[in-house]
Homo-oligomer: A and B are copies of this chain.
Amino acid sequence: MEKKAKQRRKQILKAAFQAAIEKGYESVTLQDIANYADVSKGVTNYYFKNKSDVFTQLFEWLTTRIHEKEAASISEHETAVKKLEAYLNCVFSSPEENKNFYRVYLDFLAQVKNNDSYKEINLKFYENCWSIGRDIIHQGLKEGIFEVDDVEQTSISIRCMIDGSLIQWLMRDDDQLHEYYRTNCFESILKILQYKK
Contact = CB atoms under 8 A, between A and B. Distances in A.
Interface string A78-110: 000000000000000000000000010011011
Contacts of A188: 157, 160-161, 192
27 contacts: A24-B111, A24-B113, A24-B114, A25-B110, A26-B26, A103-B113, A106-B106, A106-B109, A106-B110, A109-B167, A109-B171, A112-B171, A123-B172, A126-B168, A126-B172, A156-B184, A157-B188, A159-B168, A160-B160, A160-B161, A160-B167, A160-B168, A161-B161, A163-B163, A164-B165, A188-B192, A192-B192
A119 interface: yes
Interface in A132-156: 153, 156
Interface residues of A, number: 39
A44 interface: no
A interface: dominant SS: helix
A53 interface: no
Given A106-B109, A113-B170, A153-B184, 10 more contacts: A24-B110, A24-B113, A25-B110, A106-B106, A119-B171, A153-B187, A156-B168, A160-B160, A163-B163, A164-B165
Q: Which 6 A-B pairs have the closest CB atoms?
A: A164-B164, A160-B164, A110-B110, A163-B164, A157-B188, A26-B26
Nearest to A129: B168
A152 B168 CA distance: 14
Contacts of A168: 126, 156, 159-160, 163
